[in-house]
Every structure is written in structure tokens, then in C-alpha cells.
A and B are shown apart, each in its own frame.
Chain A
Amino acid sequence: MMGFGPVAPEANEPLFHAPWQRRALSISLAMGATRQWNIDMSRHAREKIPPAQYWSLSYYEIWMEGLTRLLAERGLLDAPSKKLPVLEAANVAPALAKGSPYIRATEAKPLFKIGDRVKVRNLHARGHTRLPGYLRGKSGEIVLYHRAHVFPDSNSHGAGENPQHLYAVRFKARDVFGVNTDDDLQADLFEPYLEAA
């Protein structure tokens, strides 16, 4: 999607542009720690905002809209309150330092290896996916193998982690965008998005 105008870096940009943004960040992270949803569900909740509304919202407004939807879907705004695992102040530093590693073991052997030519399948997901549309049908080369990771297309819908092998695939900019340069671009793509070229 194009037509958004120039990038406008702001000199000496503050970390937050209004006090409410601090609160928006912190309640989002704290609610994430209650494990009522995963990061893929929270990305999907933001993507489900109707486009006309989505494009009129700023970043933390989108976060708040997504959070409100996640809470409402789970009945967490209703009475009575549920018992959730709450992030306590003393646990903030260890929880952030630990993060949520996404590498998983899998029995399946990777189908591709570094140097292989692959083509991106012509997939049009109805739900959440991490396949950017501009790469559908394009061919490239595997340049990094990242091991198997949680598969967002499943995890976002509560269909389990369904680990899949993940690769960085390099494309020539001229093949993807028809530009007359020798530049290239990479994306991290899950094995189900790919077929041998």
C-alpha cells in the first residue's frame, strides 16, 4: 500500500508524545503478562480493526483498540473479575529479560537449506499470517535458516504452536518491484509459505 507521503524523522524525538502513551504501553505489557493471549493474537487483534479506522489511529491508539478487543472477547471487562496471574513489580525486570523465545523442537526435517531457490506460494490467508502480500509468487534464495519457530498463522487462532521451519529468503528488488537496481531484500518466511523453485 502506498501514498502515505515522505518519512518524517523528528529531531530529538521524545520517547512518548503524551502522558497517556506511557500508560498505554505499560497496561499493554502488563496485560500481556497475564497470558490470556499470545503475541500473535495481539497482532491479529490490531489487524482486525476496520481499515478506515486503523489508518486513522496512531500507534498507541492501535494498541489500545487491540487491547480493548482482546479484553472484551475474553469477557475480562465484565463482572465478576477472574483470577489471573498478575505481573508484580519485582518480576518486571526478570520477565522482560526472559522474553518469550519462539524456537521450538520439531520432528520434521527442514525441506530447504541455505542456497536453495524457493518460490513463495500464492496464499491469501483469511486470518492472521506473516506472509507479506508483496512477496506472493516471487522467487528467491534461502540465505539463513532460523530453526523451527512457533507458527503465527496457527498460534494467533488458538490452534496451537504448530512449529515450522523459518528461513530468511533473499529476493532481488528488480524481481519483486520491477526497479532497475541491484538492491535486494530479505524476509523471514515460514516453510508452509514456500515451495521449491
Chain B
Amino acid sequence: MPHDGHGHEEHSELSPIALRVKALESLLIEKGYVDPAALDVLIDTYETKIGPRNGAKVVAKAWTDPAYAKWLKDDATAAIASLGYTGRQGEHMVALFNTPDTHNMVVCTLCSCYPWPVLGLPPVWYKSPPYRSRAVIDPRGVLAEFGVTLPEKTKVSVWDSTAEIRYLVIPMRPANTDGLSEEDLAGLVNRDSMIGTRLAGHVA
């Protein structure tokens, strides 16, 4: 497992940052600015309700329902909302459809903007300087680090999320999946394929 200065090494409750966060939380509760029960609901929401399975359902539906795919292309915010996924960090959605000619890949070079309602909280690599700095200038090199090599003729099209538009990549449907149900297809859609750093059908 890579441990390379991303700051994953804080395991102790006693680390300075853990103590600092604990002190800040206590102070905010004491001052009546935050409701401790709301904090627990927020955490539970992102741990159990909002995550990449949401996005996978959008993708599987787009693969199996041409009318839905068209709606997603024309008005992704509404098409995604129809499945119940709306709100914070996904207020304005655009879907990017990968084809044999064009492979889309999403980054936020300025911070870590990410479509939370469909993908949940971003992984560490997405938020870290190596990805944020290199996705725009060397996307094929970055893809190689995910084990993805695209044909030369496939254009890589990078989307830098510099405003409040959030992008969801619709990966290409894997070959030989004609008989599969929407649910089984959703199982082939890994998180990274919806960011554009992997292909569908690969394990993330």
C-alpha cells in the first residue's frame, strides 16, 4: 500500500491534528454553533448513503436506456436528479460520454472539486498535488499510472473543474455484456471510470 506523504499516517487519537480537531469540535458544540447529532448524520450520510454506487446506477441506466442517455447528454442535472441524486457539490452536472474516439478525464487543478452526490467523497489521489498538477499536462502518463493505455488514435480530453459545474464521465460499456441486467452492469462501473482514470469493467 503506498504511503508517500499523503498524510494517511495519522492513526493515533493523540496526534496533534486529532487533538486540535477534537478541541475545535468541543468549542463549536459548547458555543452552540454545531449540533452534535447533525455531525453524526453528516458522517453517516457520506459513509453509507452517498458514494460511487450512485454514479454507477446513472451509468448503467445510460448504457441500457437510450432515452435516458439522451436526457443525460442534454440535461445531466435533471436526469441525475430523477434517480434521487442532487445537491451539495452536484448542483450543476454535465455528463461526458467516452467513445472510441474520445476519452474524457476530470480534474480540479485549483482545489479538489468533485461530484459528491454521484461519487461521494473524493479519494486521496484526486485531492493530491501529483494528480492535480499532472492531469492536464500529462494525462496519458497519469493514465499509465492507473494501468490504462489508450490507443494513439483515441483523443484524451481533460476537463478542469474550475467553476461550480461538476462533470461525470460515462465510460464505454465493456464488450460482451449484452445479456446483463442494469444491476449487473452497475457492478462493472468502478469509481475511477467515472472520473476517467480507468475503464469500466476494471476493479478500482
Q: Given the complex, which residues of A lie within 8 Å of B139, measured CB to CB? A: 183
B158 to chain A, nearest CB (A): 4
| The one of B15, B117, B159 that contacts A20, using a Cβ cutoff of 8 Å | B15
Q: Does A108 contact B (CB under 8 A)?
A: no
Q: State the CA gap A117–B21 with chains docked (Å).
A: 48
- Are A187 and B134 within 8 A (Cβ)? no
Give A34's nearest chain B residue, CB to CB. B33
* B129-169, CB < 8 A from A: 129-131, 133-134, 136-137, 139-140, 142, 145-146, 155-165
| The one of B28, B38, B47 that contacts A88, using a Cβ cutoff of 8 Å | B38
Q: State the CA gap A99–B90 with chains docked (Å).
A: 8
Q: Does B20 contact A (CB under 8 A)?
A: yes
- Are A7 and B128 within 8 A (Cβ)? yes
Give A58's nearest chain B residue, CB to CB. B7
Q: Given the complex, which residues of B lie within 8 Å of A57, measured CB to CB? A: 7
| The one of A7, A11, A55, A144 that contacts B134, using a Cβ cutoff of 8 Å | A7
Q: Given the complex, which residues of A lie within 8 Å of B175, measured CB to CB? A: none
- Are B91 and A102 within 8 A (Cβ)? yes
- Are B4 and A8 within 8 A (Cβ)? yes
- Are B39 and A185 within 8 A (Cβ)? no
- Are A102 and B164 within 8 A (Cβ)? yes
- Are A20 and B4 within 8 A (Cβ)? no
- Are A55 and B129 within 8 A (Cβ)? yes
Q: Does B110 contact A (CB under 8 A)?
A: yes
- Are B17 and A61 within 8 A (Cβ)? yes
- Encoded as 1 (CB less than 8 Å from any A CB) or 0, chain B from 20 to 31 comes to 111011011001
| The one of A2, A9, A59, A61 that contacts B192, using a Cβ cutoff of 8 Å | A9
- Are B86 and A97 within 8 A (Cβ)? yes
- Are B88 and A13 within 8 A (Cβ)? no
Q: Does B178 contact A (CB under 8 A)?
A: no
- Encoded as 1 (CB less than 8 Å from any B CB) or 0, chain A from 161 to 186 comes to 00000101000010011010111111
- Are B42 and A98 within 8 A (Cβ)? no
| The one of A8, A67, A183 that contacts B2, using a Cβ cutoff of 8 Å | A8
Q: Does B181 contact A (CB under 8 A)?
A: no
- Encoded as 1 (CB less than 8 Å from any B CB) or 0, chain A from 22 to 49 comes to 1111110111001000000001001000
- Are A7 and B142 within 8 A (Cβ)? yes
Give A185's nearest chain B residue, CB to CB. B158
- Are B164 and A149 within 8 A (Cβ)? yes
- Encoded as 1 (CB less than 8 Å from any B CB) or 0, chain A from 136 to 176 comes to 00000000101001101000000000000010100001001
Going nearest first, the 10 A-B pairs with the smallest beta carbon separation are A58-B7, A99-B87, A188-B163, A89-B37, A4-B129, A20-B18, A26-B39, A8-B2, A185-B158, A81-B31
Residues of B within 8 A of A (CB): 1-2, 4, 6-8, 10-11, 13, 15, 17-18, 20-22, 24-25, 27-28, 31-35, 37-43, 45-47, 50-51, 86-92, 94, 109-112, 117, 120-121, 123-125, 127-131, 133-134, 136-137, 139-140, 142, 145-146, 155-165, 192, 197
Additional A-B contact list (15), CB under 8 Å, known A20-B21, A26-B42, A134-B136: A8-B128, A8-B145, A9-B145, A22-B43, A34-B33, A55-B129, A58-B124, A84-B33, A86-B38, A92-B45, A99-B87, A102-B164, A144-B94, A183-B155, A185-B160
